[in-house]
Amino acid sequence: MKNFRVFAFADEASGQVDGQIRAMLRNGLQGLEIRGVDGQNIADISVEKAKEVRKKLDDNGLVVWSMGSPIGKIDIVNGDFQAHLEKLKHVLSLSHVLGAENVRMFSFYIPGNDYAIWRQKAMDQVGEMLRTAQGSGVSLCHENEKGIYGDVAVRCRELLDAFPELKNIFDPANFIQSGQDTLEAWSMLKDRTCYLHIKDALSDGHVVPAGKGVGHVPQIVKEFRAMGGSAVTIEPHLTVFAGLKDLERAGEETKMAYTYESSDAAFDAACDALKACL
């Protein structure tokens, strides 16, 4: 897989960085989209902790590709956006310590189906986040997520067209859970896609290993590589892992069809599924 890099949310294998390192090494991965760090979300760790994590990763030949931050995962109506901007500034400072090129972000939870009502505020706040990151040398990358403004392809495209500097993360399972056909979404978004999240789902929303659902993951990965795409992040979601409940809104919880005897086993199965797709 020359010139093709595979990263992972390895906190799904272990909540501890040492366990994450072991999981990445045994699966031949290049590094992390870092999200959970020894019981803390990446956005909440100190600079000193980031330096400690960086040394451990460097010692094992691993890197941080992207910050799997929760930036933008707040309510558009009642979320404290100014406090959130301060958190973004902290995440950007951690990115430099960890050597991350990218910060994963979202476009705010929307109440009900009131997308038109909250469109301008979502756009304004995404624009403010991009201005905050300007000159940092780190790219903000929008992930489609169920329940946010950019949950389906047409609204993701609105964001990308409004902000040329914004990059796209393509998550097939999240599109399925939002009622979006993944091939239609891919045709609309592939030209702006920075990287893929390797996550598949059945039509009822249950997450399954890549290639076992209706997300057309093998086809999308093949086309992504053919057009020069060079990085993907494995996001297993094949068994409940510590911290998932804190990452999702009530009523939007991820459905899981495959379960494994341990988080390590689920993580390894997700890695094997991507290898089969490749």
* Per-residue pLDDT tens listing for the chain (278 residues): 568 999 999 999 999 999 999 999 999 999 999 999 999 999 999 999 999 999 999 999 999 999 999 999 999 999 999 999 999 999 999 999 999 999 999 999 999 989 999 999 999 999 999 999 999 999 999 999 999 999 999 999 999 999 999 999 999 999 999 999 999 999 999 999 999 999 999 999 999 999 999 999 999 999 999 999 999 999 999 865 545 566 667 666 666 567 788 899 999 999 999 999 98
How many other β-carbons are positioned within 10 Å of the β-carbon of residue 214?
Answer: 17
The pLDDT score that the predictor gives to residue 116 is 96
User: Any residues with CB less than 8 A from the CB of 55 and at least 6 apart, and which?
Assistant: none
Domain region containing 75:
5-277
105 and 140 Cβ atoms separated by less than 8 Å: yes
The pLDDT score that the predictor gives to residue 240 is 56
Q: Number of folded domains in the chain?
A: 1
Name the CA dihedral angle for 64, 107, 79, 16, rounded to a multiple of 10 degrees.
-20
For position 92, which CATH number holds? 3.20.20.150
Count how many residues are written for the chain. 278
Nearest C-alpha neighbor of 159 from the set 206, 119, 203: 119
- Strands 255-256 and 193-198, sheet pairing: unpaired
